[in-house]
């Protein structure tokens, strides 16, 4: 045979993938490879590796069932070279291929390698657009051109118009673009949160779990009670169950956190969207349909659709527009190392301990845990963006650089100086107390502002403002906070500084040359 090799990566598990279009079943071969370089360039959470490998193996079986030839390289295959580049070289030789066809990857690092393949292999390499996103190639660039700061809300309106989602006669249904004013209530502890949709591992998943337990023994995370969907059919069942059981309360409890309730009213489809088992358009249309039938209210449906049609597309646009420089940004010059307890969960701060513990168990935490607990701590403590980014990329099963990096560097750490977010999402303990029941089980006292036993978020919040006054003092949206700071008695400011210095020196000692 002398057809094309069609390379499919672990996060490209979509039958409609551009790299699979016009495939010639007689002559072409699909190449899929489990490679140690992808598993260890950051040491991914065990559950994430198991999920992807099992989903990849199932996807390969589905292609074979369609009569497509698949050359699938397992991690433990003897001749496995360990990298995408090495496996492509071997496969081209093995099959005498005259062309390589692929879909652009989700990471700048991988795209840079792919761009060298034509020279390396001496055959045509065709890199196709990834059309599984809702913002068509080039549209984001045109929209962003000439804007100094990008705001998701305006981009989202363009996307609503472009795809005619929740629109009526050119106007947003209900008369408003955004219904967040009706959302984000404190948790209701009387409610029984529906159980998440999990699946019993089949033989393929069981094999992969054993492989990962052996080869990733030193990686962060647990494999127990693995229940993720590993096929499109299962992923669709997760989406259906979300629409039926959780969507109506999605908006109301979007920001709420309850101890030992990791899943709340969120959809848990990020794993499947980002690996290609689900497409964003089908999630958006399913939610829109639930509003039309009266099953879910507009505040919930609009809020959910905004996350996918707005935020997800927006951060992807920023990633490709700003890479590779975006990864090195550190506007606030934060240089403290990541505290060990981000891995061990060994901290007296119950909000952090709960969020880290469930991250270890499930490779999942919902948005507010990522943003306002874990991220807020990293921001206030001045942790180095490179270390924070690596942690987030490792620990979440939905994490790929295109989506993780703008969320961490842009939304959480303000490392891009305000390109993505108009102000840092900094908050003291009162916010966490309002949105969760964590504080009642904590060794610290949320109502106490300073001294022994005071909630660290309380003094770290003000210390963050003091340390970063030069960079943030002129931000109009921070004006009220700085005016409150200026009204504080000097002794109070002294206590804040002393408490913060003591706490940070204990949990995140500065390295030499630190600028925080």
**Interface residue list for ligand FAD (CB under 6 A):** 266-270, 273-274, 307-308, 311-312, 315, 366-367, 370-371, 375, 392, 396, 398-399, 403-404, 407-408, 411-412
HSE, side-chain direction, 13 A CA sphere, residue 479? 4
- Considering the rule CB under 6 A, would residue 456 count as an interface residue with ligand DLZ? no
- By a kind-dependent CB cut-off of 5 to 8 A, residue 472 interacts, out of ligand FAD, ligand SF4, ligand DLZ, none, with none
Contact characters 438-467, ligand SF4, x per CB under 6 A: xx--x-x-x--------xxx----------
- Considering the rule CB under 6 A, would residue 400 count as an interface residue with ligand DLZ? yes
Nearer to ligand DLZ, 255 or 401 (CB): 401
- Considering the rule CB under 6 A, would residue 106 count as an interface residue with ligand DLZ? yes
Contact call for residues 45 and 397 (beta carbons, < 8 A): yes
- Considering the rule CB under 6 A, would residue 34 count as an interface residue with ligand DLZ? yes
CA–CA separation, 163 vs 143, rounded Å? Answer: 15
Contact call for residues 13 and 277 (beta carbons, < 8 A): yes
- Considering the rule CB under 6 A, would residue 44 count as an interface residue with ligand DLZ? yes
For residue 286, which of 244, 346, 344, 343 has the smallest C-alpha distance? 244
Rg, Å, the chain Cα set: 24
Q: What order of strands is seen across the sheet that includes strand 4-7?
A: 69-73, 29-33, 4-7, 99-103, 124-128
Residues whose CB is less than 8 angstroms from the CB of residue 232 and which lie 6 or more positions away in sequence, other chains included: 13, 15, 62, 277, 278
Least gap, CB of 269 to ligand FAD (angstroms): 5
- By a kind-dependent CB cut-off of 5 to 8 A, residue 10 interacts, out of ligand SF4, ligand FAD, ligand DLZ, none, with ligand DLZ
- Extract the tokens encoding 286: 């399913």
CA–CA separation, 416 vs 461, rounded Å? Answer: 20
The span from the first CA to the last CA of the chain, in angstroms, equals 60
- Collapsing DSSP to helix, strand or coil, 31 comes out as strand
CA–CA separation, 511 vs 502, rounded Å? Answer: 15
Residue from the set 20, 54, 97, 107 that interacts with ligand DLZ by CB under 6 A:
107
- By a kind-dependent CB cut-off of 5 to 8 A, residue 9 interacts, out of ligand FAD, ligand DLZ, ligand SF4, none, with ligand DLZ
- Considering the rule CB under 6 A, would residue 500 count as an interface residue with ligand SF4? no
The stretch near ligand SF4 (CB under 6 A) out of 163-171, 263-271, 431-439, 464-472 is 431-439
For residue 380, which of 466, 447, 445 has the smallest C-alpha distance? 466
- By a kind-dependent CB cut-off of 5 to 8 A, residue 396 interacts, out of ligand DLZ, ligand SF4, ligand FAD, none, with ligand FAD
Least gap, CB of 36 to ligand DLZ (angstroms): 8
The stretch near ligand SF4 (CB under 6 A) out of 40-48, 242-250, 308-316, 349-357 is 349-357
Residue from the set 433, 468, 500, 516 that interacts with ligand SF4 by CB under 6 A:
433
Residue from the set 52, 125, 173, 432 that interacts with ligand DLZ by CB under 6 A:
52
- By a kind-dependent CB cut-off of 5 to 8 A, residue 412 interacts, out of ligand SF4, ligand DLZ, ligand FAD, none, with ligand FAD
DSSP string covering 297-357, please? -HHHHHHHHIIIIIIIHHHHHHHHHHTTGGGG--TT---BPPPTHHHH---S-HHHHHHHH
- Considering the rule CB under 6 A, would residue 127 count as an interface residue with ligand DLZ? no
CA–CA separation, 307 vs 318, rounded Å? Answer: 15
For 267-276, letters b (16+ CB in 10 Å) and e give bbbbbbbbbb
Interacting residue ranges for ligand DLZ, rule: CB under 6 A: 9-11, 33-35, 38-39, 44, 49, 52, 105-107, 110, 400
Interacting residue ranges for ligand SF4, rule: CB under 6 A: 349-351, 429, 432-433, 438-439, 442, 444, 446, 455-457
């Amino acid at each position: 045979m002398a057809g094309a090799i069609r390379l499919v990566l672990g996060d490209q598990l979509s039958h409609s993938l551009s790299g699979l279009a016009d495939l010639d079943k007689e002559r072409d071969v699909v190449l899929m490879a489990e490679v140690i370089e992808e598993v260890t360039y950051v040491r991914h959470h065990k559950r994430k590796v198991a999920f992807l490998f099992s989903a990849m193996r199932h996807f390969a079986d589905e292609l074979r069932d369609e009569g497509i030839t698949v050359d699938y390289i397992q991690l433990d295959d003897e001749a496995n070279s360990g990298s995408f580049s090495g496996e492509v070289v071997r496969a081209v030789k093995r099959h005498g291929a005259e062309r390589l066809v692929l879909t652009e990857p989700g990471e700048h690092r991988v795209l840079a390698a792919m761009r060298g393949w034509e020279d390396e292999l001496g055959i045509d390499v065709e890199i196709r657009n990834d059309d599984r996103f809702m913002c068509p190639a080039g549209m984001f660039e045109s929209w962003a051109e000439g804007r100094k700061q990008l705001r998701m809300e305006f981009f989202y309106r363009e996307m609503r118009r472009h795809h005619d989602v929740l629109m009526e006669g050119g106007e947003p249904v209900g008369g408003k673009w955004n219904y967040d004013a009706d959302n984000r209530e404190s948790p209701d502890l009387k409610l029984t949160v529906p159980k998440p949709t999990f699946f019993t591992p089949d033989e393929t998943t069981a094999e992969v779990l054993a492989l990962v337990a052996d080869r990733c023994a030193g990686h962060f995370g647990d494999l127990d009670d693995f229940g993720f969907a590993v096929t499109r059919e299962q992923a669709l069942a997760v989406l259906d169950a979300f629409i039926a059981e959780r969507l109506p309360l999605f908006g109301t409890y979007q920001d709420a956190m309850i101890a030992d309730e990791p899943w709340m009213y969120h959809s848990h489809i990020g794993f499947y969207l980002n690996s290609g088992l689900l497409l964003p358009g089908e999630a958006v249309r399913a939610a829109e349909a639930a509003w039309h039938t009266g099953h879910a209210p507009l505040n919930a449906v609009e809020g959910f659709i905004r996350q996918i049609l707005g935020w997800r597309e927006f951060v992807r646009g920023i990633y490709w527009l700003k890479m590779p420089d975006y990864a090195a940004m550190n506007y606030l010059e934060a240089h403290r190392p990541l505290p060990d307890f981000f891995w061990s969960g060994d901290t007296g701060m119950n909000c952090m301990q709960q969020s880290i513990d469930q991250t270890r168990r499930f490779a999942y935490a919902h948005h507010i845990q990522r943003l306002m607990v874990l991220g807020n701590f990293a921001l206030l403590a001045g942790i180095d963006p490179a270390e924070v980014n690596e942690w987030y990329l490792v620990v979440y099963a939905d994490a790929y650089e295109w989506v993780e990096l703008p969320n961490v560097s842009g939304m959480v750490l303000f490392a891009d100086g305000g390109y993505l977010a108009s102000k840092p999402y900094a908050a003291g303990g009162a916010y966490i107390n309002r949105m969760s029941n964590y504080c009642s089980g904590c060794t610290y006292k949320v109502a106490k502002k300073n001294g022994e036993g005071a909630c660290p978020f309380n003094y770290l919040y003000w210390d963050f403002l003091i340390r970063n006054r030069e960079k943030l003092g002129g931000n109009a949206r921070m004006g009220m906070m700085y005016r409150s700071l200026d009204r504080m008695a000097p002794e109070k400011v002294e206590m804040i500084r002393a408490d913060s210095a003591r706490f940070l020196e204990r949990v995140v000692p500065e390295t030499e040359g630190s600028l925080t």
